[in-house]
């Protein structure tokens, strides 16, 4: 796998890819020094220092992330993803999340039902908690029932989720609850 840390108007993000597609994404951090260690931990990942050295599909993903950071309603549906090793349930959950448009939210239960797994809201949340490609697979758009924001395992926890939803203009009545963040 190769990775690139790059600047956006929201901070420094990182993409990780292989020949099959995008395999990892690190949400923007304030500095390059904060974003780089996350990317460096991706198994077997090699740093690509120059954006001109990335494959066309990765360049497209990079462009879309930057447009997203500039508050443009973009879709990542055309980005090739490497989900090898993911079970059918996770693939279905990630595909259903990927169909949500910019600024559109749904609940964990509704997402599970849309993915063909009615009654599996908790399991859908667990699958999203291990999403290796946040933002591209927009797990931040899934909220808890009853207007609560729900969990978020990316760095910054629910505060990051809330910031992304505000960035997209998504409205919710929940309050960002503290949650421990996990590294991908």
Q: Catalytic amino acids?
A: 139
Q: Which DSSP string corresponds to 25-71?
A: EEEEESSHHHHHHHHHTSTT-EE---GGGS-HHHHHHHHHHHHHHTT
Distance separating alpha carbons of residues 81 and 22, to the nearest angstrom: 5
Query: C-alpha angle with apex 70: 172 to 57, nearest 5 degrees?
Result: 105
Candidates 98, 118, 24; CA nearest to 108 is 118
Distance separating alpha carbons of residues 12 and 2, to the nearest angstrom: 17
Q: How far is CA 59 from CA 31, 80, 115, in A?
A: 21, 11, 29
For residue 97 the two structure tokens come to 């999340």
Altogether, the residues listed in the chain come to a count of: 184
């Amino acid at each position: 796998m190769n990775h690139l840390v790059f600047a956006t108007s929201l901070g420094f993000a990182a993409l990780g890819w292989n020949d099959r597609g995008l395999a990892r994404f690190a949400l923007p951090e304030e500095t390059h020094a904060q974003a780089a260690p996350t990317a460096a931990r991706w198994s077997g990942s090699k740093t690509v220092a120059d954006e001109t050295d990335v494959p066309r599909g990765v360049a497209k993903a990079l462009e879309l992330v930057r447009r997203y950071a500039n508050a443009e309603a973009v879709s990542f549906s055309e980005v090739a993803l490497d989900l090898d090793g993911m079970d059918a349930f996770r693939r279905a959950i990630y595909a259903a999340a990927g169909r949500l448009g910019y600024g559109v939210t749904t609940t964990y239960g509704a997402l599970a039902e849309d993915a063909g797994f009615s009654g599996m809201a908790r399991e859908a949340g667990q699958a999203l908690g291990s999403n290796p490609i946040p933002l591209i697979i927009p797990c931040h758009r899934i909220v808890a029932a009853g207007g609560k924001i729900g969990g978020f395992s990316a760095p910054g926890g629910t505060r990051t989720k809330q910031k992304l939803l505000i960035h997209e203009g998504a409205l919710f009545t929940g309050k960002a609850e503290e949650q421990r963040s996990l590294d991908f």
